[in-house]
Amino acid sequence: MATGESALVDANGNVTSLADILTINDKSIFEESFIGFTDNNGSPMPHATVKTHAHQKIEWFVLGTDLRYRKLPDSVFANIDGVDLVGDWIIAKRTIGHLSHRCGIYSIREDKLLLDLDYNWIYPSPDGLYVINRDATNSDSASNSYYDIENECFVSDWYYSAIPHHCGYGAVQETANSDWYFVDSLIDKAFPLQFDGVERFSNDLAGVYLADKSGYLDTNGELVLELHYEQLGPFDHLGHAIVNRDELEWDLDVIDRGGAVLLEGASTLVFWDGDHPCYEVEMDGEQKLLDCRLIPVNPPSTSR
């Protein structure tokens, strides 16, 4: 069993990160990468992964929130060079050639490989219906299918394109020239409307595109906002979305769920979530940091 000899803790004694040097079977090893204990939205995760190197050997470990380590099997992870940690599962990646790689799914809960590393991409879903992308046999090949992570099985046909489930709905495009439509958890068509393009659902709204129009669809299949943007971002938990008037020139706004423009005309606009959500903005050549109310944040004074 491997144990971390030391860790960084906050004032309440909660572990915040591992120390750089760990001890495994009385041998010093050096942490190369660490993933856990919260996801990108700040939600707690039950595990972390640690990639280490010692004596030219790469090994992977699972670290529980109790700081107990479990070595992942070399039969699966010996040639793995990247992982995505999603709850009780690991999306394992192995580089093939210069630009491509292969992906598979490993269950931490069951200590077994669910999907061999035979797939191009694996897109996780909070609803448990992942999109699996396989090699395309031709330019119009159906190469995307839904995989039920809890029941460990494929649950749909293969589609030309597919979007992972969020808020209970995914979306598919059957062929390269067909329209997009949304599907429910049974992969049945959810709404009668079809579109030229769609975005994933986020906080119960999804961006959709039809001809020269765009807007947001709700989970009842109703178009609740009709807008004229070329690109619609997801709504965050604050009720804001970043939208783009011109994909070539980057003319970015922030809108609320009613479509009102809260910030207009940014050339760069990035939302950072966390304990203190903020926007990194560039407008008229000037860079700014705005809080979640879109009010400028004054940097701390460096004068004494």
The residue that leads in pLDDT, 96 or 223, is: 223
Q: What is the pLDDT of residue 2?
A: 34
User: Is it the case that residue 19 has pLDDT exceeding 80?
Assistant: no
The residue that leads in pLDDT, 94 or 17, is: 94
Quick one: what percent of the chain has pLDDT higher than 70? 78
Distance between start and end Cα atoms, the chain: 50
**At 6, is the pLDDT very low, low, confident or very high (cuts 50, 70, 90)?**
very low
Q: Kindly report the three-state secondary structure assignment for every residue of 87-122.
A: CCEEEEEEEECCCEEEEEEEECCCCEEEEEEEECEE
- Dihedrals φ, ψ of 268, to 5°? -135, 135
304 lies in which domain range? 229-304
User: Is it the case that residue 55 has pLDDT exceeding 70?
Assistant: no
Residue 258 within any structural domain of the chain: yes
- Dihedrals φ, ψ of 76, to 5°? -105, -40
Q: What is the pLDDT of residues 260-277, one digit of tens each?
A: 999 999 999 999 988 889
Residue 19 within any structural domain of the chain: no
Strands 69-71 and 57-64: antiparallel
Q: What is the pLDDT of residue 9?
A: 37
Is 208:223 a contact under the CB 8 Å cutoff?
yes
Residue 262 within any structural domain of the chain: yes
Q: Mean of the per-residue pLDDT values for the chain?
A: 83
**At 81, is the pLDDT very low, low, confident or very high (cuts 50, 70, 90)?**
confident
User: Is it the case that residue 97 has pLDDT exceeding 50?
Assistant: yes
Q: What is the pLDDT of residue 141?
A: 81
Here the CATH number for the domain that contains residue 300 is 2.40.10
Residue 87 within any structural domain of the chain: no
Q: What is the pLDDT of residue 40?
A: 47
Q: What is the pLDDT of residue 58?
A: 76
The pTM of the full predicted model, rounded to 2 decimals, is: 0.79
Number of other CB atoms surrounding residue 215 within 10 Å: 20
* Spatial distance between the Cα atoms of 143 and 135, rounded to a whole number of angstroms: 6
Residue 280 within any structural domain of the chain: yes
Q: What is the pLDDT of residues 286-295, one digit of tens each?
A: 999 999 999 9
Residue 265 within any structural domain of the chain: yes
Residue 159 within any structural domain of the chain: no
Q: What is the pLDDT of residues 165-208, one digit of tens each?
A: 999 999 999 999 999 999 999 999 999 999 999 999 999 999 99
Domain count, the chain: 1
Residue 66 within any structural domain of the chain: no
